Structure 1
C-alpha cells in the first residue's frame, strides 16, 4: 500500500515536471522606456530617472504634478511625456544652465576626490522658487 502511494506520487510529480517543460516561457518584463527626454540621456534607466526626479522633488519641495500634467484619459494619473506644463521646460532650462556652470567652473575635485558641483538645491533649498538674500 505504501509503495502504491509512492509510485502514484512519483507519477504525478513526473507528469507535472514534464508538462511544465512545455509551458510557454514568459519574457522577462522590460522596464518602461522614458519618452520625450530632451536633456537627460535617452538611455537612462528607469531607476536612475526615478532618482533624478526624486532629487528634483526634494530640492524644490514639490510633487511630480508641479512639472508633469495630468493624463487626458485619466486625470488622476500623470502624463510624464507631455510638455503641456510650462514648468517642465523651465526645469529643462535649469538643467542646461547647471550643466553649463558645472562644466565651466566645477570640474575639479575636492580633497576627498569628490567632484564639486552645483545642483537644484544649491539655489532652491527646498523651495519651488529660489529665495534671494538681500544684503
Structure 2
C-alpha cells in the first residue's frame, strides 16, 4: 500500500513539473510593435491598440466591417489595410478631416460646474447612426403661426354678435 502511494506521489510531482514547464514555455515573449502603414490623417505614431479602437468606433458607427473600406490582398486573401484600392477608404479620411475641423472650430473642451473636463462634438455616429450612408431627411414643414387658415382676423366678433357698445335687445 505504501509503495502505491509513493508511485502516485512521484507521478503527480513529475506531472506537475511537466505542466508548469509547458505553461511557462507557452507564454509569449514581447511581441514586436505592429506599425500601421499608409496613415494619412491619423497620427503616424499611433499604437496598434489605439488604431484598433478607432477602427472599431468607425465600424460600429457605420454598421460595417473592415471590408467596407479595406480591400483584400488577392495573393494572401487577407485584408490589405495599407491599400487605397477602395474609394470608401478615401471618403473615410475626408469625413475624419471634416469632423475634426467642425470639432476644432465649434466644440472646444471646457469644464462643467463641478470642474470636470467635458468634451462634446460630432463624430461618425452623429450622422450615420449605424448605417453605411446617412439617411437624408427633409426638414419638417414650418408650423403655421396665428389663426387657422380661413379664420376671421383676430378682434372680429363672430357672426350674429351685435357690435360693441350696442345696448342689449332684452327681447324687444
Q: For residue 65 of structure 1, what is the aligned residue in structure 2?
A: 67
Distance 1:106 1:43 in 2: 25
Q: Which residue of 1 aligns with 2:82?
A: 81
Asked whether the equivalents of residues 31 and 46 of structure 1 are also in contact (C-alpha less than 8 Å), the reply is yes
Is residue 33 from structure 1 mapped to residue 35 from structure 2 by the alignment? yes
Matched, 1:126 2:126: no
Give RMSD over aligned pairs.
1.6
Q: What does residue range 1-135 of structure 1 map to in structure 2 within 5 Å?
A: 28-75=30-77, 77-109=78-110, 111=112, 112-134=116-138, 135=140
Residue-by-residue CA offset, 1:46-95 (whole Å, 9 max, x unaligned): 000000000011000000000000012122x1000000001000000000
Q: Which has the higher contact order (CA 8 A, sep 6+)?
A: 1
Gaps of 5+ in 1: 1-25
The TM-score with structure 1 as length reference comes to 0.76
Q: Is the 8 A contact 1:58 1:126 kept in 2?
A: yes
- For residues 129 and 40 of structure 1, what CA distance do their matches in structure 2 show? 22
Quote the Cα distance in structure 2 between the aligned partners of 1:84 and 1:117: 31
Output the CA distance in 2 between the equivalents of 1:94 and 1:122: 12
Match of 2:149? none
Count how many residue pairs are aligned between Structure 1 and Structure 2: 109
Task: Report what 1:4 is aligned to.
Answer: none
